[in-house]
Amino acid sequence: MANMLATDPTVVHRMTFANVAQSLRPLIATRPTHYCTNCSPGGAEPAPILRNQLLGWRITCPVCGNQLRDGGERELPSPFQQYRFAALRGQNLLDDETERGIRTWTSATEIARLLLMRRIPIPIPREHDLWRFRVLGAIIPDLNHVIAEQQENLPTPAKPILPLHLRPALLAGVAIVERAGPEMLRMLRGHMMGDNRVRFTDAAENMIARARRSRASSQMQLI
């Protein structure tokens, strides 16, 4: 049994992520999405899969800090380099929560999911264009143009792992919302309509309420 566990990468991966909370696992990929040219082992057949190749929120290698490379057949340069500083902060927020259980006033993972919800902008676009608009586009306006140009449908909040070249936009959005605080979540609600507005409002208000309770609890401990 010990030999089987050592040689079966699927079993090893499950064991490696055993301590990650179930609510955070949608950010862990089932297969490698990227690799580091500096740290990925070469010359091995089949090549071993490193744990960090499954961390769907990263844009830099957690070992050496190098920019990650796309693990798929196509590799596109990121059109969001101007957001790099904010994206690195968003990566750190998600890394702290998922790897170390550390949050700030709210969950970075929950912010990411909210930002991937669909929205209907005003003026209302043509029906066949509705697929490309997400809450994230209200924070990172460049996103709407990139999505339309590349015909790249974003993933759903249930599995918020973006292709590597689009990932900096989501990470930057997470960092911007986290830094701005609860009022930004309420502001983003104004970009929603219909059932999505109701779902967004419920989720955002729950996040804000939990943050208040946590802050009140921390203050009580200081008394």
Q: What is the pLDDT of residue 212?
A: 86
CA dist., res. 171 & res. 60, Å (int): 12
Q: What DSSP string describes 110-159?
A: HHHHHHTSB---SS---GGGGGG-BGGGGT-THHHHHHHHHT-PPPPTTS
- Burial of residue 29 (CB within 10 Å: 0-12, 13-18, 19+) is middle
Distance CA 70, CA 36 (A): 9
What average pLDDT does this structure show over 22-29?
A: 86
Q: Which whole-number Å values give the CA distances from 197 to 45, 71, 117, 173, 208, in the listed order? A: 50, 36, 10, 19, 16
Most confident of 22-31, 39-48, 131-140: 131-140
Residue 103 has pLDDT above 80, yes or no: yes
Confidence of residue 127 (pLDDT cuts 50, 70, 90): confident
Residue 45 has pLDDT above 80, yes or no: no
Q: What is the pLDDT of residue 57?
A: 94
Residue 197's CB: how many other CB atoms inside 10 A?
A: 16
Answer yes or no: are the C-beta atoms of 151 and 63 closer than 8 Å.
no
Per-residue pLDDT tens over the stretch 50-97: 888 999 999 999 999 999 999 776 678 899 999 999 999 999 999 999
Q: What is the dihedral of CA 180, 153, 26, 42, to 10 degrees?
A: -110
Q: Which residue has the tokens 């566990």?
A: 5
Strands 34-35 and 69-70, bridge-based pairing: antiparallel
CB 58 within 8 A of CB 70: no
Task: Give the rounded percent of residues in the chain with a pLDDT score beyond 70.
Answer: 85
The pLDDT tens digits of the residues spanning 107-123 come to 999 999 999 999 887 77
Q: What domain range includes position 162? A: 2-222
Structure tokens at 74: 């196509």
Scored b (16 or more CB within 10 A) or e, 114-150 reads bbbbbbeeeeeeeeeeeebbbbbbbbbeebbebbeee
pLDDT at 6 over 60: no
User: What DSSP designation does 69 have?
Assistant: E
Task: Return mean pLDDT, the chain.
Answer: 84
Q: Is the per-residue pLDDT at 192 higher than 90?
A: no
Residues above pLDDT 90, as percent of the chain? 50
Residues 6+ apart with CB under 8 A from 116: 134, 135, 136, 154, 155, 156, 157, 160, 170
Per-residue confidence (pLDDT) for residue 219, from 0 to 100: 56
Q: How confident is the model at residue 12 (pLDDT cuts 50, 70, 90)?
A: very low
| Count of domains observed in the chain | 1
pLDDT for 73 equals 66
